[in-house]
Structure 1
């Protein structure tokens, strides 16, 4: 432990200065009485500095003895400033052999940092080369004094009784009823579930999760469910209310606002409710007697925290299972390679419906542009919106809405030279050019500069063509083809949660698809090549997840639902396309993982992405070379990042942004993470250019 000894107003007390822990011997200092028992308080100070990732020892005045309890927020002096922190422990000894300061004040008496969450934060910081302070910033919401004061310490009314146990949503899955029974009996199974499409509303995935929560609550334990976005949380909220009854759970999302979110979080902390559903920050919720951690759509990018130390919900909840010995459950329309690796290791059990029954229920999927369609439709079979898609949409509009799934928003978000196909870039900042509307000149998507007289720097041509068609241009084409049919948007900042079940064309981008009562009469997925065209390790996994998420909103085969996939590259056989048509995500994840086995790729190895200036990265990796070699870690890079900014031409190479990748075997991950954390701390202490570390990010494209 250390003490904050740089402040000008340090208070010296009588200490035994022998080596080892020292004991506070005086009961007062300069007229300030100290707490009669355990006068030393250990505090995690909110510093945000990797070189100071430790607890600091302070003294507790007697006036704060009852309020300064482990878990409360405190304000302490540090280097001439007053900073906030969390009191983690009271003791009568300290490892520090110098001067101490007094705690200035206790910020509320709520013990917001529980021992479990502190241990979880320490573990996440260790495995992600981060700091405990950074993790606690993610785990505990900002204090709202009014909410803290107005919420009763204990629940004032008795919760409604739980409904009789039922397994209705799980009757389609052979192992479903066994899972529920284990949860009711207080066991701790781990399961990975592939959801089936086309089921009735009260048997869809939110209700399946709700019944898992009900089974866990029946055993006297708590349940925690995490979903990617607020729309998924709203679906789970509705299902949980229907299954558990009112006031049995709370929602935790960033969109709630400070007061509502903190009130909901306090209800969990104080034990008013035992079930929580929320977005990624809810993964740290202090659920009492935690019995189940579960999350939906493991591959969704929204489950990856964008702030340091960048933990994924998957890692947080698995760590909570290990610390709490609770059940774990992950579900989705698809299965990620991370989940498949757990299954292959025997650590988690798979649950899914019989594939033949699932395919029989799901809406049939047709690939536009196949050979027999060429004979029937001619060149129209290969159009961006092929003849098959037009005919499917026309037939479906007689019975309900049609979902048109496009990969990009905007009008024409990407353009290129007609002659040489060079992507068109801004002459000022080198950003990508686009057509924001039909009449607008080429416009930079980065700096908004218009380029009325664009000339290709390669072939000097003046003509431009679209690389990708956006949602607005697609809607324009659909409106012309189907006059009188409403065209609705769900893109970007204008995402609709649901649309009415009346005939309409609904244009949506990935992740923004509205739900509709009874499902869409047809789903048209355009520009499949765009989803498959990225140089990304998980490109196939992401494409399949996007397509299946959209297809799952379609009516089942028995009610006339139909799905058309257009824009599929025909040069090679593509496993994501085959898996989609067969509705076989398990086959895809198993094959994808097998392909990675001999290539030393995630999730069969542990990656960490390092970013910073080229010189800083080269120096950091050179310093760590010996220690990394001892762990058999591999280093790729550093490599310069192409930012497209013209100023790079005049910037020294050592100061340009760069990236590197460090990988190691899974058994050495904590050791390598500790080395990376020590490297960051050393560089920060020396005030050298910083290197950012993001564990789990295997962005191989940057090093290509």
Structure 2
């Protein structure tokens, strides 16, 4: 009897009901081409069309099974989906109540035919060789943290507080010392014949780490993987990670899934940065994906940063992650700068901070961190102080420059003839100073001094050692050769007023990252802020602040002490999903559900649950999503597509506002 071979495939579709493996018969004409991991085309009966899919397994058909449809064609002979990547994608999707296909869409770049043909035609890459002197350098750098090199070799989970200082590469380029620390960990891992995956939030961090690595590794060993690359270059880089030799992958959040050979290290820099939280479904944070990968692949896992997130600190407290401290503790000289007696209480730059900036400008650059870009990002009525809003869309009005007519930040319309709906006044006043207005004001206060603005519209990566006032928004601070001679952290009180559960943690991260750019012994003035966050910065005890945050959030059942899932959709669907979850997981507390409340065109509810209940809760919510997708309303005739998905679920939501 002839044995029928079948391919078990995952179709590339966003429909939740298709998030499972389907069996297709392998025709004789394709018998020698179909292997696990390749892309193929298969017929989809429900849609009456061909669709791309990944071959996950190749096996033998069940004798009692009904007749199977056949594979249509092979799209590419390259096995881009490795068994390890499939397992990781499936685990990450199940944990987040999402689809594995959505994970793979982030992890595997779109196919580029020319890049693929060039890769197939080229000889396979050779094993990279790390020079003895570079390996010795790496061990010296890691030696500042006793036991770190051995812990990485033993594949442990580690939390490391990075040194708050600026170093110089051989060509004089300034980089944070954290970049040299992670580069040393990668060099040591590669020297042991294992691959390293380094994940950073944005292009600024990537440039620093790439510079530190380029001087220590063979060029062919360093693979860049991020979304800003041209599509052919990114696909070529992905194909390089599939080679049977180790490498070092450097990229943004999606790089955590890179299917490298012999993985030995996954390192996450600054895991509190929101850029590491995936906005696309199913919204798996790079930190959570790295934890899953460490468990599956047995790699070392390093969380490094100038601050400690409450999420990582929770794992440290549980003993799941081990903290390794440096031999010599270093910290910036932080000054809590307040207004003195006789000074205006609302003065933006107190006399002590002003004097420190003036003295430092004699030697080199001074960094001034502000909250917002632009000139006057917030306008209010000059009479009643109500926020000035656009008459067309209700968006906030701002001033692009001194004397300019107010314009809407949302729709861009110029608000000619604006009047306050509360008091009918036609005058506005500036309620906040952006980076450009701050540069204007400080430029007048320090005549003859260069003024450099660095924000979203004016990207500056580095500045020289000459005197200059560098006005930067949070996260956009350039590196200064030798470090800044003084750092002024303005608008801290306004930053802390943001309605965000983690605003204290975020502010501490912004300020710590800026303070780490100061030269040794240079003053760092935090203006107008007191309380626990200010004390944590002044004493450089960020882990202690994270512990206090955990202690405060525990009784309130707020993340990360518990997990939270958001359910959005039509009220009947949301209520049915909640009822199903309560029936499936009777251990859920009586106050586990918040809502549902009106949200957009439907309602939204939050479900809080313990980590131990996560598998059952997410499975129940996922089943509700699939049921809603299968039985949902169909779009109007002529619109095309399948049933409309009327239920959306996201687990571990970053924003808890109902």
| Counterpart secondary structure, 1:256 | coil
Secondary structure at 2:117 match in 1 = helix
Corresponding residue number in structure 1 for 2:269? 296
- Cα distance in 2 for partners of 1:610, 1:415 equals 36
- 1:66-81 pair list within 5 angstroms: 66-78=32-44, 79-81=47-49
**Distance between the aligned counterparts of 1:507 and 1:453, measured in 2?**
33
Which stretch shifts more, 150-159 or 129-138?
150-159
Instruction: Tell me whether 501-510 or 316-325 shows the greater mean CA deviation.
Output: 501-510
User: Is the Cα contact below 8 Å between 2:127 and 2:245 reproduced in 1?
Assistant: no
* Contact 2:193–2:246 under 8 Å retained in 1: no
Match in the other structure for 2:140: 168
Deviations 1:84-124 (A, max 9, x none): 11011111114984342221111111100000000001101
**8 Å Cα contact 2:130/2:187 also seen in 1:** no
| Whole-Å separation in 2 of the counterparts to 1:404 and 1:616 | 50
Please tell me whether residue 45 in structure 1 is matched to residue 18 in structure 2: no
The match for 2:632 among 652, 670, 687 is 687
Task: Tell me what 1:92 maps to.
Answer: 60
Q: CA deviation at 1:480?
A: 1.9
Question: Contact between 1:267 and 1:273, CA under 8 Å: does it hold in 2?
Answer: no
Structure 2 partner of 1:652: none
Tell me, yes or no, if structure 1 residue 678 matches structure 2 residue 623: yes
Asked whether the equivalents of residues 165 and 214 of structure 1 are also in contact (C-alpha less than 8 Å), the reply is no
Q: Which residue of 2 aligns with 1:386?
A: 350
Of residues 586, 593, 597, the one that matches 1:639 is: 597
CA displacement at 1:75 relative to structure 2: 1.1
Q: Secondary structure at the match of 1:588?
A: helix
TM-score under structure 2 normalisation? 0.91
**What are the within-5 Å matches in structure 2 for residues 399-414 of structure 1?**
399-414=363-378
8 A Cα contact 2:364 2:484, kept in partner: yes
- In the TM superposition, residue 619 of structure 1 has moved relative to its aligned partner by 5.2
The residue matched to 1:416 in structure 2 has which SS? Answer: strand
Partner-residue secondary structure (3-state), 1:429: coil
> How big is the alpha-carbon RMSD for the aligned residues of Structure 1 and Structure 2?
2.2
Q: Give the C-alpha shift of residue 463 in structure 1.
A: 3.5
Q: Does 1:310 align with 2:267?
A: no
Is 2:484 aligned against 1:520? yes
Q: Give the direction of change, closer, same or farther, for the CA distance of 1:474–1:587 in structure 2 (3 Å limit).
A: same
CA contact (8 A) 2:195 2:248 kept: yes
8 A contact 1:153–1:270 mirrored in 2: no
Distance 1:38 1:233, change over 3 A: farther
2:640 equivalent in structure 1 = none
1:266 alignment partner in structure 2? 239
Give, in whole Å, the separation in 2 of the partners of 1:534 and 1:629. Answer: 36
2:204 match: secondary structure: helix
Instruction: Kindly state the Cα deviation for residue 630 of structure 1 after the two structures are TM-superposed.
Output: 4.8
CA distance in 2, matches of 1:483, 1:53: 64
Residues 230 and 253, structure 1, Cα contact 8 Å, conserved in 2: no
1:228, distance to aligned residue in structure 2 (A): 0.6
Q: Distance in 2 between matches of 1:618 and 1:422?
A: 39
TM-score, normalised with respect to structure 1:
0.86
Query: CA 1:48–1:543 in structure 2 vs 1: closer, same or farther (change >3 Å)?
Result: same
Match of 2:22 in 1: 56
Structure 1 residue aligned with 2:604: 659
Instruction: Assess, with a 3 A threshold, how the Cα gap between structure 1 residues 156 and 171 changes in structure 2: closer, same or farther.
Output: closer
Q: Distance in 1 between matches of 2:321 and 2:580?
A: 39
Q: Residue 598 of structure 1 aligns to a residue in which SS?
A: helix
The alpha carbon displacement at 1:391 in A equals 2.0
Which structure 2 residues correspond to residues 321-336 of structure 1 after superposition, within 5 A?
321-336=294-309
SS of residue paired to 2:216? helix
Counterpart Cα distance in 2 of 1:106 and 1:684: 30
Q: Deviations over 1:465-486 (max 9, x none)?
A: 3332111111111222223322
Tell me if the contact between 1:498 and 1:516 (Cα under 8 Å) persists in the aligned partners: yes
Task: After TM superposition, give the deviation of residue 334 of structure 1 in Å.
Answer: 0.2
Instruction: Tell me, yes or no, if structure 1 residue 135 matches structure 2 residue 99.
Output: no
Q: Residues 613-632 of structure 1: matches in 2 within 5 Å?
A: 616-618=573-575, 620-622=577-579, 624-627=581-584, 629-632=586-589
On the 8 A contact 2:584/2:616 being kept in 1, the answer is no
Which of 551, 558, 577 does residue 601 from structure 1 map onto?
558
Structure 1 unaligned spans of 5+: 1-24, 28-36, 642-654
1:83, distance to aligned residue in structure 2 (A):
1.0
Deviations 1:187-227 (A, max 9, x none): 11111011121364468111111121222223322211111
Query: Contact (CA 8 Å) 1:40, 1:94: kept in 2 or not?
Result: no
Instruction: State whether residues 146 and 325 of structure 2, in contact with CA within 8 Å, keep that contact through their aligned partners in structure 1.
Output: no
Report how many residues are paired.
Answer: 634
Offset at 1:425? 1.9
Once residues 265 and 96 of structure 1 are traced to their aligned partners in structure 2, the CA distance between those partners, rounded to angstroms, is 40
SS in 2 for 1:330: strand
| Secondary structure at 2:220 match in 1 | coil
**Offset of residue 581 of structure 1:** 1.3
> Structure 1 674/210 Cα, relative in aligned 2: closer, same or farther at 3 Å?
same
Rounded Cα–Cα distance in structure 1 between residues aligned with 2:71 and 2:202: 40
What is aligned with 2:637?
A: none
Distance 1:38 1:273 in 2: 37
User: Structure 2 CA distance, aligned partners of 1:154 and 1:544?
Assistant: 49
Distance in 2, matches of 1:567 and 1:467, equals 17
- In the other structure, the counterpart of 2:639 is none
Counterpart Cα distance in 2 of 1:231 and 1:198: 16
Alpha-carbon distance between aligned partners in 2 of 1:300 and 1:156, rounded to the nearest angstrom: 34
Alignment of 1:61-460 (within 5 A): 61-78=27-44, 79-94=47-62, 97-151=65-119, 154-157=123-126, 159-163=128-132, 164-166=135-137, 167-172=139-144, 176-183=145-152, 186-198=153-165, 200-201=167-168, 204-353=177-326, 357-359=329-331, 362=332, 364-370=333-339, 374-375=340-341, 378-380=342-344, 382-460=346-424
Q: Which moved more, 1:289-298 or 1:573-582?
A: 573-582
Q: Could you tell me how far 1:156 is from its partner in structure 2? A: 4.9
Question: Could you tell me whether the CA contact under 8 Å between 1:368 and 1:382 is conserved in 2?
Answer: no
- How far is 1:667 from its partner? 0.3
Q: Which moved more, 1:315-324 or 1:393-402?
A: 393-402
Given that 2:453 and 2:470 are in contact with CA atoms closer than 8 Å, whether structure 1 keeps it comes out as: yes
Per the alignment, do residues 61 and 562 of structure 1 end up closer, same or farther by CA in structure 2, a change over 3 Å counting? Answer: same
CA 1:497 to 1:44, structure 2 compared with 1: closer, same or farther past 3 Å? same
Which secondary structure state, in structure 2, belongs to the residue aligned with residue 165 of structure 1? helix
Distance 1:248 1:428, change over 3 A: same
User: Which residue pairs with 1:13 in the alignment?
Assistant: none
